[in-house]
Amino acid sequence: MIVAGDIGGTKTHLALYDWKKDRVDPVRLESFHSADYTSLEDMLTEFLVPPKPPTPIDEYEAEKDSAAEPEEERPAEVPLKIEAACFGIAGPVIQNHCQTTNLPWVVDGAVLAKRFEIPNVRLLNDLEAMAHGILLLRADEVEVLNAGTPPPHNQALALIAAGTGLGEAILFWNGSRYQPMPSEGGHSDFAPNNDNEIGLLHHLRGHYMHVSYERVLSGPGLHAIYDYVRDSRKNEPTWLSEQIKAGDPA
C-alpha cells in the first residue's frame, strides 16, 4: 500500500493506493479540515484506522461476543502494511522536514516513518508535487482559461496556485525532461504599480508587518482586497454585508 497526501492550510486530502506490479489502484480518498488536528500524525492515525460508528445491531453483537469470548482470545485487528508515503506540504521542505506556513505543524519524514512503520516517507513542497502531477496530464484533462502563445519547447515553465496562500513552482528543462523545483515566491514583497495598488499596500500594512504577494493573491487576499475597496469607497450594500457576516468572508 502507498499513502499520498496534499497538506494545505485549509484542507488536507489523503489517499490510499494499492501498489501492484504494473499499476496503482486507488483504495480510499478522504478530506480533512487541517485546523481540526494538532499534527499530521493525529490525522494519519485516524485515516489509517478509520473509526466505524456502531449500530444498534453492532452493539448487541459486541455485548454477546464479549460475554461468550474472553478478551485475550479475540483476534487482533491487522494493521495496514504501508510500503511508502509521500506528502505535498504547503511550506518549505528542507532535508525531509517542514515547518508548515499556514498551520502550527512541524512535519518530519523520519518521525512519520518511525511512528507508522513505513520504510520510505518523502516530503515535497505542495507546488513541487503538483508540478510532477501536471506533467502527467493529457491535453483533454487541461482547461484553458486564457489562451496565449505556448513557450518554445524546452523552455522553463511557471506554476502558480492561489489557495490559503500563494504557491509557486518552476519547471526547468534538465536536458531530457522537465524537472520541478519548489519556490516560495509567494512570500516576496508586493510591489504596487499604480495609485490604487499603492493604496492597497497602505491598507495591508495596517494589518501585517510584511506585505507579500500572498497577502493579495489568495483566499484571505481576496477578502483583504474587498475590505480595502469597501473602506475606501464606502458603498457596501447592506445585503452583501449581512451575507459576509453570516458565512466565510473569503
Res 53: pLDDT: 60
**Euclidean distance between CA atoms 242 and 90, whole angstroms:** 32
Res 239: pLDDT: 83
pTM listed for this prediction: 0.75
Res 147: pLDDT: 86
Query: Domain for residue 150, yes or no?
Result: no
Same domain (yes/no): 124, 204? no
The list of the chain residues with pLDDT below 50 reads: 71-78
Res 79: pLDDT: 62
Res 97: pLDDT: 97
Same domain (yes/no): 122, 213? no
The domain containing residue 28 runs over which residues? 2-129
Last residue of a domain, one of 83, 98, 129: 129
Res 113: pLDDT: 96
Query: Domain for residue 139, yes or no?
Result: no
Res 74: pLDDT: 42
**Euclidean distance between CA atoms 101 and 90, whole angstroms:** 6
Res 189: pLDDT: 97
CATH number of 95's domain: 3.30.420.40
Res 236: pLDDT: 78
Beta strand 84-89 with 120-125 is parallel
Query: Domain for residue 58, yes or no?
Result: yes
Query: Domain for residue 85, yes or no?
Result: yes
Helix, strand, coil in percent for the chain, rounding step 5: 35, 25, 40
Q: What total of structural domains would you count in the chain?
A: 2
Query: Domain for residue 171, yes or no?
Result: no
Last residue of a domain, one of 102, 129, 156: 129
Res 129: pLDDT: 94
Task: Give the angle 223-167-187 at the CA atoms, nearest 5°.
Answer: 75
What secondary structure letter does DSSP report for 229? H
Query: Domain for residue 44, yes or no?
Result: yes
Query: Domain for residue 213, yes or no?
Result: yes
Query: Domain for residue 200, yes or no?
Result: yes
Last residue of a domain, one of 129, 163, 178: 129
